[in-house]
Structure 1
Amino acid sequence: MNEQTRVFPKKKWKVRYSVLLVLWLCWLFSFLDRMVITIALPFIGEDLNLNATAQGLLLSIFFAGYALFQIPGGMLSDKFGFRRVVSVAIVWWSIFTSLTGFIFSYPLLLVLRFVFGLGEACLPGGSYKAIATYFPSKQRGTATGIQSTVNTLGPAIAAIAAAAIIGLYGWRVVFIVMGIPGVIIGVYIWFKFKDNPKDHPKITTAELAELEDDVEEQSGGQKNAGVSFKELLKKPILWQMALIWFFFDITFWGFTSWLPSYLIKEKGLSLMSTGIFSALPYLVGTVAIVLGGYLADKIKGNRKWVFIPGALAGGIALYFMFQSASITMVIVFQCLAAFCMFLAQGAFWGLVMGSLPAKIMASGSATVNCFGSIAGFVSPFLMGYMIQTSGSFDTSFIMMILALVVAAVIALTINEKPKDNQVEMKVEKRERKVAVQ
């Protein structure tokens, strides 16, 4: 066959790409629904006469519910399938998002945010379970990185959309509007998703074969393939990853929750300018988090060497950010900090997806994420207290920087390739060669 008559096969859209797209939308609205309150916070505080500590508690109480139900939510996804759990969860939290706009009592608002957090807690484990089910192991880091772009786009879109809606209609309307799309997505998942790829009507034989080959390869070469969740709890790497994520999220949620208030109160920006400048670091981070996930797939066994420099460089950028007097340099350094931190985050979740067996991915990843949720509860409230007692943001910035350093130090202790695993894999490879010969 000559060059002119050669036919190249077309790349077909695979079912796993559709699954990832819908999961991405789930995460997008989960972040929109939880993050609009950071823009609305100064107005809620004024409307309900709340001091900085009370406002910090309002941000943190979501994470109390979010942390409490992380592990149970992951275990439910492993037992009953991600389809049921994720679809019910998104409808649940979307309803409570809309209800937020009708609340006039601070104690009742705290209760509502807590219950809202219970619903969102089921998404992380369920979504990671879906990726582990539909994606071969060699693509999970990249898929997780793409899914995690909502960690950046969510706050960015929330900042701009919330500022615009609040400016026109007030803070209550933004919550009422944000809850509607999630209900539609939840219903779609219930009727269109399948827990087992074999049951999906549009999946091809080639895609199924790719997944089955990957399962055989993983079970043959991965020591943890048959590990139960109870056994996984005894493995050091799970708790190393959980602690890394706790300290990393001390910074992430502190940065995300208080950045708009910092720009308004400390730097004197207007509401609309705050919305735009709050969005910039997350737009930069969108590129970084995908790059981090991609690198995690390419350098298996050395993912921590993407995370550690990223976390440390993020801390350095945060230091220069709060030391800068110029608003231009503040924006520059906040974007640099975001790029470095999100690069580290993409690599970290590539490490998680590569270290946990697919069978218990929901429970294992939910355990790791639970520690991040605890950090999400601690950080905004603690920062609010520091800001109120010190009268400035300086102490809280130092706390965030130190947390990144601790996360990087813990990451140094991780050994992605235990010696016994390396020896076993070498022996297996040698035996296969002999068998072929």
Structure 2
Amino acid sequence: MTPATPPAGEGSATGTPIPAKRWTYVIPVAVVMYMLAFLDRSNVSVILPYMDGDLSLSAADEGMVTGIFFLGYVFLQIPGAILAQRWSARKTVMILMIAWGVAAMACGLVQTKEQFYVARFVLGLFEGGVWPAVLILLASWFPLRERARANALWMACLPISSIIMAPLSGLMLDHTDWRWVLVLQGFPPLIWAVVWWFAVADHPSQARWISRTESEYVERSLAADEAAKPASGSGSYMDAIKQRSVLVLIAIYFFWITGFYGFTLWLPSVIKTLTHDGSSTQVGLLSAIPFTVALIVMVANAAWSDRTGKRRQAVAVPLVVAIAALLLGQIVQGGVLGMVLLCVTAGALYAPYGPFWAIPGGVLRIEVVAVAMGLINALGNLGGYVGPYLVGWLTDSTGTSVTGFGVLAGFLAVAVVLVLTGLRPSAEAVTAAPAAGPDAEDRAAEESRMVKSLAEEGR
């Protein structure tokens, strides 16, 4: 993959384009790392329908198994963000990677549902600090005008992981039992921790592969971004909590993530129903289709958001589409149209990721942004517990999943209202990418190549 050409206008004093190796060095290593995290987090969604009564799990218990991960996920969010900012994102992520790999393998050794709860909780605990730590890392490498695209290309690991996870887990289940699947899928993070250690640097000035020109450009651009933001106090927990935008973003993320995980972690079970109890391999392959659509949509939406600077619309509009598709899907339960609606819902639920996580860095200074992103992710991801458990509990109570998914649509609707009424237009006050030109066209072509490369990893 050739290094990307920077957006138009990012040139030296002589007009020579600034190198942009950061796009092809930092992002791919981070993508693989978090693909493994998301795989170990969500593989239970494929495994649960094929446990054949092991551990005697009811639908509510299955919702607890998937959702309790997010209770553990809360605890290291802020510490992980602070360690990444004040110590080292590189070291923080490597330590957590080793710890979550061990916890993921332990999930395959449980003998009771209570042990399964504990193992999933501990897995969430160690994965919890990784997301904010990587966001801090990206904020040290990509100026605001590039942030949504950088976030989305990294967060492409979420649908790519699902594209890989669903068929892989299904295939493995056809040849071994669910315990071995969990154990074997927990091992790769231990290997990738070594790659991460040697490939990643906390700042451009610490990387051996980056040119002095590119390093100076990044540092100069980041300094200009910071200078344009209002002062935010001393950078304490209270400074972050006092920010109105932080409280609104926490609420938006909670209601969105409730719908997101309520849908995605039950998706294989829904597809199994659509296929009239098809084989695990068939369900796995079909489950990969919605996530492939999600990968394309989320990167395209982020590129549009960076080009226009319209962060709020890039979050709200996809969620409206998700609500409509989710509700229609409860009416059309089966056939090709049912599968199409699952694809639309998945694409719309993934689309806001890049633009949403570009908002905190656009309105908050570096003194509080680490704590703020930790708070947003920690409290917002409690929706990852609420959503799956709510769907499972309502399915047990009503005998149908229609009620559960209808409630999820209501949670998404609240998120849309909060985006449009709670976030001020200043949340979009970021530097949009310049108008198209020769360099911009080169950059767009490179981003297209990068998306294709990521999709190849997914296959």
Q: Would you call these one fold, judging by a TM-score over 0.5?
A: yes
Shift of 1:13: 5.7
Paired with 1:225 and 1:83, the residues of 2 have a C-alpha distance of 26
Q: Which residue of 2 aligns with 1:303?
A: 311
Aligned mates of 2:72, 2:395 — CA distance in 1: 24
Q: State whether residues 84 and 137 of structure 2, in contact with CA within 8 Å, keep that contact through their aligned partners in structure 1.
A: no
Stretch of structure 1 that moved more, 12-21 or 147-156: 12-21
Partner of 2:78: 71
2:289 corresponds to 1:280: yes
Higher helix share: 1
2:38 aligned partner, one-letter code: F
Aligned length: 413
Q: Secondary structure at the match of 1:68?
A: coil
State whether residues 72 and 124 of structure 2, in contact with CA within 8 Å, keep that contact through their aligned partners in structure 1: yes
Deviation at 1:84?
A: 1.2
Report if the CA contact (8 A) 2:229-2:363 is conserved.
no
Structure number with larger C-alpha Rg: 1
Distance 1:266 1:385 in 2: 21
Structure 1, unaligned runs of 5 or more: 1-7, 423-437
The equivalent of 1:333 in structure 2 is 341
Per-residue deviation at 1:227? 6.0
Which residue, out of 303, 312, 316, partners 1:294? 303
User: Residues 379 and 207 (structure 1 numbering): CA distance in 2 closer, same or farther, change over 3 Å?
Assistant: same
In structure 2, what is the Cα distance between the partners aligned to 1:49 and 1:31?
25
State the 1:167 CA deviation: 1.0
Quote the residue 1:165 is aligned against: 172
Q: What is the CA deviation profile of residues 263-289 of structure 1, one whole-angstrom value per residue up to 9, with x for unaligned ones?
A: 224652412222122111110010111
Q: Is the alpha carbon distance of 1:418 and 1:252 closer, same or farther for their aligned partners in structure 2, counting shifts above 3 Å?
A: closer
Work out the CA distance in 2 between the residues paired with 1:145 and 1:326: 31
Paired letter, 1:31: F
Which residue of structure 2 lines up, in the alignment, with residue 378 of structure 1?
386
Q: Is the 8 A contact 2:264 2:346 kept in 1?
A: no
Specify the SS of the correspondent of 1:328: helix
CA shift, 1:189, in A, is 2.4
Counterpart in the other structure of 2:28? 21
The aligned runs of 1:27-176 (5 Å cut-off) are 27-44=34-51, 46-176=53-183
Partner of 1:394: 402
AA of the residue aligned to 1:233 = I
Distance in 1 (CA, whole Å) between partners of 2:134 and 2:302 is 16
Shift of 1:359: 4.8
* Alpha-carbon distance between aligned partners in 2 of 1:393 and 1:47, rounded to the nearest angstrom: 22
1:141-168 deviation digits (Å, cap 9, x = unpaired): 1000111112212222111110000111
1:222 aligns with 2:234: no
* TM-score, normalised via structure 1 length: 0.89
**Residue in structure 2 matched with residue 312 of structure 1 by the alignment:** 320
Identity of aligned residues (%): 25
8 A contact 2:229–2:364 mirrored in 1: no
1:234 alignment partner in structure 2? 242
Matches of 1:252 and 1:202 in 2, distance apart? 38
Cα distance in structure 2, aligned partners of 1:418 and 1:187:
38
One-letter amino acid matched to 2:327? Y
Question: What is the match of residue 245 of structure 1?
Answer: 253
Letter in 2 for 1:323: I
**Aligned pair partner of 1:347 in 347, 355, 377:** 355
Aligned Cα RMSD in Å?
2.2
Distance 1:44 1:402 in 2: 31
One-letter amino acid matched to 1:308: A
The one-letter code sitting in structure 2 at the alignment partner of 1:336 is V
Question: How far apart are the structure 2 equivalents of 1:163 and 1:380?
Answer: 21
Q: Which is worse superposed, 117-126 or 344-353?
A: 344-353
Instruction: Look up the equivalent residue of 1:63 and give its one-letter code.
Output: F
Return the letter of the residue paired with 2:153. Answer: I
SS of equivalent residue, structure 1 residue 223:
coil
Cα displacement string for residues 160-217 of structure 1 (whole angstroms, at most 9, x for unaligned residues) = 1100001111211211221222111212323443323212222211111112221331
**Cα drift, residue 378 of structure 1:** 1.3
Mark the CA change 1:212 to 1:162 in structure 2 (over 3 Å): closer, same or farther: same
Q: Shift of the alpha carbon at 1:318?
A: 0.8
Deviation readout 1:29-88 (Å, 9 max, x if unpaired) = 111111111110123361112111111111111111012222222222222220111000
How many angstroms does 1:405 deviate by?
0.8
Match of 1:213 among 220, 226, 233: 220
Return the alpha-carbon distance in structure 1 between the equivalents of residues 27 and 355 of structure 2: 18
Letter in 2 for 1:198: S
Partners of 2:328 and 2:392 lie apart in 1 by 21
- Which segment drifts farther, 159-168 or 170-179? 170-179
In 1, are the aligned partners of 2:98 and 2:190 still within 8 Å (CA)? yes
Tell me which amino acid in the other structure corresponds to 1:285.
A
Gaps of 5+ in 2: 1-14, 431-459
Change (3 A) 1:277 1:220: same
TM-score of the two chains, using structure 2 as the length reference:
0.85
215-224 vs 104-113, greater mean Cα deviation: 215-224
CA deviations on 1:393-412 (whole Å, 9 max, x unpaired) are: 01011111111111000001
> Bigger CA drift: 306-315 or 209-218?
209-218
Distance 1:87 1:359, change over 3 A: farther
State how far apart, in whole Å, the 1-side matches of 2:222 and 2:233 are: 11
* CA distance in structure 2 between the partners assigned to 1:247 and 1:119 by the alignment: 23
The code of the aligned residue for 1:309 comes to V
CA distance in structure 1 between the partners assigned to 2:234 and 2:318 by the alignment: 31
By how many angstroms is 1:315 displaced?
Answer: 0.4
- 1:206-239 Cα deviation digits (max 9, x unpaired): 1111122213312332225776243232111111
